[in-house]
Structure 1
Amino acid sequence: MDNLNLTDNSRNIEFDDNDGGPYEDVVGTGILLKRVIKEGENDDVKAVDGDIVKISITYHGLGNSTPEEITFTLGYLLNIEGIELACKCMNVGEITLFKIKSHLAYGDVGVTEGPYNIPPNHDLVVQIHLISIVGHQNFLLDDTPVEELLEQFKTIRGRGKFYFQRNEIDRAMFVYNKLLNILQEVTINRCDELLLLEMSILQNNLASCYYKMDDYRNALKMSTAATTINPKNIDFVYKHLIILENLKLYEDGIIFIKKAIINLPSEGIKLERKLNQFMRYKKEIDNSQREIFRKMMG
């Protein structure tokens, strides 16, 4: 589920919500409840962001109660928030039943991918066995090959796209911003062209998020950063022009298009049309301002 590799390797404990005692309110608001079925090994060891955890998970009430084994890194929303929070409050070896409110799961959209069909606004009941904390993900190690970093970033960035397509913009931005902050640290000591291109993709994705939220100023800030790093990316260029046009920054647009024509000769005809369009808009604004000034002086 959730684009993670799944293998069946755990015994399912039969679910009976009337058996086993009361639930504990994990965060104090009723959005995540837990009932321990089997105690774990060590109360002092809890998973934290960046830890790679291996769990066996069973979804109850969805027509498929087969346990599935998954391994993922905490802190990047590679799984739903409720499951990430659940893993952080468990001990290794523990088996626990959780009730997760829908806004910590698949919200008002639901999900139809994979073996489950989760309706909108559906509260989940899941059984989790925290098998092990496999290790800790550290993107800042200087000896990590660039290709390996990019592969990991691509996987996590794909999760941001998953949220964006579901219109869960806040979650998409969380993923993109977290990766961008890591890349900004990584590139302090490793000024690699491929890493910079990955940074531009994240900036462009954030520009799309801000634009969808009608925050055009921050969209412009991110789009400017993306096109500065990667001025030959056609999609970035046209998205930047859409933002400039929305903000009526026609003079900035004219300057940008003239540079883009040099960088992207294959787009020359389309960009020339855009240039004429922006020049026409600017002329209309200038004429309007002159008319206002004339009336004020008259």
Structure 2
Amino acid sequence: MDVDPRHYNHVAINDNDIHNIVLSYLVHNCYKESVESFVASTGMKQPADCVEDMEKRKRIFHCAVEGNALKAIELTEQLAPDLLEKNKELHFDLLSLHFVELVCSKKCTEALEFAQNQLTPFGKVEKYVSKLEDFMALLAYEEPEKSPMFHLLSLDYRQQVADSLNRAVLEHSNLPNYTAMERLIQQTTVVRQCISEENAKKLMDETLGVSLAVLISCSLAISSSLGQLVLILASNRSQVNPRDAILSQLMKIILKLEDPTLVTLRRITFIERA
């Protein structure tokens, strides 16, 4: 649910906060030229070693995106020597990128040898088994890009691995692995979801309250009719045919089921199901 902007137009915003949010996004994504222009235009102080760090991460990122995974691994080990040793999943993803490049280059024998030497050891861990099966299945297709595992060859997959690598390098350097802008969007999304759930719960409670009241009303009406039926049968044993009395009273009950109260209940029930 969107909030009326008039409710927060009066909230003061510090320009420095906005500048820091934008700068963190540019630095995180290694937009070196944009960082320099932004710092110059706003008069902000550029973080120490910012440019050098961005250049190194940018090279690693581009190597991963372009499919040169072995070079990305080499540069990562230079910048963060123990990172891939500790982060086995990321190491596997980078090695798998190289395997995919070999498959796409029709170097199937080389790809198989690489998989046996570099990827097979990961098969001892359960969570890598299904991934290994998907990658190895690529060898069975003359046109891997048309296989069910085609997404493993996509730019999106390489981008995903490169993003994970970039975040890991930042975290290894004790820097935020998410930008302030991303965190703000995440927090805003969670708040909106909580508000929506709270409003939905409140509406459901109100609806259930009305439904309960209607059910009680209907139950009382039917109980009253049944009570009248018992009295009729008890007081007119000889004068009224029990069968006729029962049919007559049942007809009254049926008519009560068309009472507006029950119609309301039906409408509420329909709304809840919808």
Structure number with higher strand proportion: 1
Fold similarity call, TM over 0.5: no
TM-score by length of 2: 0.29
TM-score by length of 1: 0.27
Asked which structure has the greater CA Rg, the reply is: 2
Structure number with higher helix proportion: 2
